[in-house]
Homo-oligomer: A and B are copies of this chain.
Amino acid sequence: MPNVASNPVKLAVIPGDGIGPEVVAEALKVLDAVTADSDVTFEKTEYRLGAGRFLDDGEVLPAAEFEEIKKADAILLGAVGGKPNDPRLANANIERGLLLKLRFELDHYVNLRPTVVYPTVESPLKNPGEVDFVVVREGTEGPYVGNGGSIRIGTPAEVANEVSVNTAYGVERVVRFAFAQASARRKKLTLVHKTNVLVFAGKLWRRIVDQVSAEFPEVEVDYLHVDAATIFLVTDPARFDVIVTDNLFGDILTDLAGAISGGIGLAASGNINPDGTFPSMFEPVHGSAPDIAGQQIADPTAAILSVALLLSHLGLADASAKVTAAVQRDLASRSGARSTAQVGDSIVSLLN
């Protein structure tokens, strides 16, 4: 399902805000190192987008730059977003105008978020067990569509609605992707939803899962309400193989999954357009963390693991495996505080 890489690979790089540029620098260091001896070259173009850019010139995602990005083979994004309470950003919403716009317009209908608890990493859980699952989060529908509105704004009679839109078209393609993942892994798929309350969307998700399940008889299917799923993520996360879920539930579950697997500093993600119509985008699950920006204390591992996902998506399976292995070796040997660049250097030195 990943595309075979075109050569050279046109890579759009969006370092973004806060710790974004710092972690992206390390991710690119690793990308360069792991592909140095290969036939594939990466042609990188940097786009300065995010809260910083908006504060400079009021632009969030200018049309010309967006057109260029659309023509890239893949995108690497650090993190976007300014200080939460910056009054100058009050009416900006960089998340909707940039990050979600990229995900929606580039039809990133699969948001792929693997979780592995590496033995040497500190989990807040006493006994995480052998955790290795992947969340396949729908990326273009659900409560994220921006289909809402308010009336009588600012008055005691205000009403604000948010519509979750779910289509058979949208659910089926992500569910089929999730089944294919499960089939190539431990053959267990868990649908997470809230079918007892969100009955209309719930019935659609269940029907599609039942239907696609017929094409993958080898995959065992399970169902959990989202509330129950959070319980199992802390009491028995090892039970999961592939979780398929909607955009909002996926957002919540993957932050929790990041936390139990030793922190959001390790959680990578791919916003994938499996059809190859548009470039896929790889980014750490963490945010821009403006409070620690510029101090070289952010962990670049999530960004580096996002490069592993990117390489795998481009069909460069060997290079991807090398990056993952180097990260594992680095995690096994961690001790003491290191700068962002030191972590990147260490991972580069552990590539082989």
Give the B-binding residues of A (Cβ under 8 A). 81, 84, 93, 95-96, 100, 123-127, 143-144, 146, 148-150, 152-169, 172, 194, 196-201, 203-204, 207, 223, 226-228, 230-231, 234-235, 248, 251-252, 254-256, 258-260, 263-264
Which listed residue, B126, B160, B226, touches A204 by the CB 8 Å rule?
A: B160
Q: Are B207 and A230 in contact (CB under 8 A)?
A: no
Measured in the bound complex, the distance between the Cα atoms of B91 and A199 in whole Å is 11
Interchain residue pairs A-B with the least CB separation, the first 10: A227-B255, A158-B168, A230-B256, A148-B200, A160-B200, A160-B204, A231-B259, A95-B196, A162-B164, A160-B166
Q: Are A223 and B84 in contact (CB under 8 A)?
A: yes
Give this chain's copy count: 2
Which listed residue, B152, B172, B198, touches A143 by the CB 8 Å rule?
A: B198
Chain A binding surface, main DSSP class: mixed
Measured in the bound complex, the distance between the Cα atoms of B152 and A230 in whole Å is 32
Chain B residues near A259: list those with CB within 8 A: 230-231, 234-235
Which listed residue, B149, B153, B156, B163, touches A169 by the CB 8 Å rule?
A: B156
Q: Are B235 and A252 in contact (CB under 8 A)?
A: no
Chain B residues near A152: list those with CB within 8 A: 168
Q: Which residue of B lies closest to A256 (CB)?
A: B230
Q: Are B255 and A228 in contact (CB under 8 A)?
A: yes
Chain B residues near A169: list those with CB within 8 A: 156-157
Chain B residues near A204: list those with CB within 8 A: 150, 158, 160
20 contacts between A and B (CB under 8 A): A95-B197, A123-B126, A143-B162, A144-B197, A148-B164, A150-B204, A154-B207, A155-B168, A158-B204, A159-B167, A159-B168, A160-B167, A160-B203, A161-B165, A162-B198, A163-B163, A226-B252, A227-B252, A231-B264, A235-B263
